[in-house]
Amino acid sequence: MLLMASGYALMLPGLLIHIVLTKRIKNPHWLALLYALLPILVLRPPVTFAAAWLIAFAFFVMASKRVLK
């Protein structure tokens, strides 16, 4: 229960940051790069590398779908 509450407590500031960044940064590729670099500041190296690549890949896929439409 406490773990779930702490997860939501961490998620809410992240959601607010995401909303602010998407309004400020119009280029989705720069947004993807920024999100790929964020885990480096928070996590330790083995998890950081995997998380950064997964997040970057997801955002580049989303950005390319938006560009291709």
Burial grade of 43 (CB within 10 A; 0-12, 13-18, 19 or more): middle
Q: What local confidence, expressed as pLDDT, does residue 5 receive?
A: 61
**More confident position, 31 or 2:** 31
What is the band of 20 on the pLDDT scale with cuts at 50, 70, 90? confident
DSSP string, the chain: -HHHHHHHHHHHHHHHHHHHHHHH---HHHHHHHHHHHHHHHS-HHHHHHHHHHHHHHHHHHHHHHHH-
pLDDT, the chain, mean:
66
The pLDDT of residue 69 is above 60: no
pLDDT score of 29 more than 60? yes
- The pTM of the full predicted model, rounded to 2 decimals, is 0.34
